[in-house]
Amino acid sequence: MTKAIAIIGAMFGDEGKGSITDYFARQNPTDSIVIRFNGGAQAGHTVQWVDNGETKRHVFSHFGSGSVAGVPTYLAEEFVSNPLLYSKEKKLLADLNIDPLLYVHPQSLVTTPYDMIVNMILEARRGKDRHGSCGVGFGETVARSLSHKKLTVLDLFSNSRDELRIIVDNIRSEYIPDRFKDQPLDRNTNSDASWMSLLTSDTLIDEWLDCVEEFVNDILIADYSTLTHSTLIFEGAQGLMLDQQSPDFPHVTRSNTGIVNVSAILTEVDVVLDSFDVVYVSRAYTTRHGAGPLDFEKELPYCIVDETNIPNINQGTLRFAPLLLDTLSSVTLHDFNKCDIKHAPEVHMAFTCLDQLPPKNNLFIAGGVEVESNREDFIGILTDSSSYVSYGPTADDVRKR
């Protein structure tokens, strides 16, 4: 019998999915696997833990957030692999004495450095009309795969280094000019000149091929028949408000952020589920990192410390709003109704960052009206509608009601 747990961001991402995934991974570390079922290396899932009295933390992007607990990761078909960022994160994890086991679906799309460059150029050109991209080429990889050359993990295994060089050079020489045909790069423009210098560098291709070689040597390529563990932990990326079907296009991600991909994988695996829990995660307030609408946006009177979502050129600073209870209820119900498997799931809410709430002046939106509450009453409202609450940054801070 198999237990499945889907951890899904309920808002705009950055809800605390990393610590919640870590919490579930620690319940059965010897026979669990974390499945990254959407998105790619643009995720930033923070896990913090104490090792021999020393506090450590890592922001997972390519690996699952169960890695600290020793739980392997499976990158599903709908995950976009990025060898450059894989190599970078692997080195960071090695410094923490963590060596994760990584399975990857053969049809997982692969990001090239040119997808990343196009992503950054286009986002910079949008100026005040930015989409809110992280700048690591996830959306551009999907776009290229639909209109030009589809590059998969299986291709990395099936082609020699020289053959891969020809493939990626073709993306550079043919796809890049086509991508910028409406507004060509101009060598006489300082910003374009610096990008063109990088685009024409063969060294960049060599560096990517080195990372590809490392990636291929490290991972285990496997289809869904690999998922024979007793606990399947589905770790979502981004949140429901960023789903590609969201009405807020283009300020969305090019993936299904909710239950759709989870249902499809479970159907393909065709396991007998003993239980299926869907855990929608939200902070005790609303955040958005990047451009796009944010209802009731304001500077919150809270002492919020966020070491992960630091200001950057692509996404700017982290933005805040009171907890949108009405929105939270509607988007989670809408997503849950998309579930299409034999075993009906049980729905749960998990609220994080409760330790950051002040004694007074806590804000939330109910019935379209801003409500002010003291800490105890506000936490009471949240715990009445949730199964899990977290009062800090680690798995040990998570409480089950």
Supply the Cα-derived Rg of the chain in whole angstroms.
21
By mean pLDDT, which of 91-105, 243-257, 286-300, 317-331 is the weakest?
243-257
Residue type, 51: D
Residue type, 357: L
- Strands 45-51 and 54-60 come out as antiparallel
Which has the higher per-residue pLDDT, 103 or 129? 103
For residues 312 and 289, give the distance between their C-alpha atoms in angstroms, rounded to a whole number: 10
| Mean pLDDT for the stretch of residues 120-139 | 69
User: Could you report the per-residue pLDDT of 89-103, keeping only the tens digit for each?
Assistant: 999 999 999 999 999
By mean pLDDT, which of 22-26, 132-136, 335-339 is the weakest?
132-136
Residue 125: band (very low, low, confident or very high) from pLDDT cuts 50, 70, 90:
low
Which has the higher per-residue pLDDT, 365 or 248? 365
- pLDDT(131) > 60: no
Q: What is the dihedral of CA 367, 333, 46, 36, to 10 degrees?
A: -160
| Mean pLDDT for the stretch of residues 283-310 | 84
Angstrom distances, CA of residue 58 to CA of 41, 49, 153 = 14, 9, 25
- Strands 80-81 and 45-51 come out as unpaired
For residues 19 and 162, give the distance between their C-alpha atoms in angstroms, rounded to a whole number: 41
- pLDDT(118) > 90: no
Which has the higher per-residue pLDDT, 151 or 175? 151
Task: Report the chain's mean pLDDT, rounded to a whole number.
Answer: 90
Closest CA to 306 of 261, 270, 340, 352: 352
Residue 394 DSSP symbol: B
Closest CA to 81 of 264, 245, 208, 231: 208
Angle made by CA atoms 77, 79, 84, in degrees to the nearest 5: 125
By mean pLDDT, which of 126-130, 248-252, 345-349, 397-401 is the weakest?
126-130
Length of the chain measured in residues:
401
How many other CB atoms sit within 10 Å of the CB of residue 245?
13
Give the phi and the psi of residue 268 in degrees, each rounded to 5.
Answer: -70, -40
User: What pLDDT is attached to residue 270?
Assistant: 79
